[in-house]
Copies of this chain bind each other. A is one copy, B any other.
Amino acid sequence: MPHTETSPERDLLRSAGLRATDPRIETLRALETHPHADAQEVFDAVSSVLPDTSLQAIYGVLSALTDTGLVRRIEPAGSPARYELRVGDNHHHIVCSKCGAIGDVDCAVGHAPCLTPSTTSGFTLTTAEVTYWGLCPDCAAAPLT
C-alpha cells in the first residue's frame, strides 16, 4: 500500500491535479535535498529509495512537474537540463564556468527597468531571464589545476 498516508508532497501533487505516485513524491523530495539536480542525479536519488524506477520515468515525472509549474527547468549552456522546486520567484542563477555548479542569486537590485529592452525586433516580449557566469568558491580556490 504505497503512500496511503498523506504528506506535503502528496498534497502538492494532488492540488496540481496530478496523481500522487511514488516516483513523483520521491522526485520532489530529491529536489528538496539536491537543488539544481539534473535528470540523472534525480534518478540516482530516487533509485536509492525506489530501486525499480527507470530513468525514463524520471524524465516523465520531471516534465509533468515542469508543465504544472511545480518545478522549474533551467538549461545553462553546456549543461544538461537542471531542475529546482518553484519557491517564490525572485531569483536568478549563477553558473560556474569551470565546473558547472549552480548557485541561487537574489533578484538584481534596482532592476524593474533593467529588464525592459529598448527594441524587440518585432517580437512580443513575455519574460526576461538572467544568467550570471563566474567561478564557484571551489574553482576560484584552485586556479592552478
- A contacts with B, residue count (CB < 8 A): 45
Q: Which residue in chain B gives the minimum CB-CB distance to A113?
A: B110
Point out the residues of chain B lying under 8 angstroms from A54, CB to CB.
none
Point out the residues of chain B lying under 8 angstroms from A78, CB to CB.
75
Complex-state Cα separation, A56 to B36, whole angstroms = 32
**Quick check: is A57 within 8 A (CB to CB) of the other chain?**
no
The reply to whether B123 and A132 form a contact with Cβ atoms under 8 Å apart is: yes
Point out the residues of chain B lying under 8 angstroms from A122, CB to CB.
103, 136-137
Complex-state Cα separation, A133 to B131, whole angstroms = 14
Complex-state Cα separation, A108 to B74, whole angstroms = 22
The reply to whether A123 and B135 form a contact with Cβ atoms under 8 Å apart is: yes
A10-18, A26-34, A37-45, A92-100 - interface stretch: A92-100
**Quick check: is A114 within 8 A (CB to CB) of the other chain?**
yes
Taking CB atoms and an 8 Å cut-off, the chain A residues in 53-93 that contact chain B are 73-75, 77-78, 81, 92
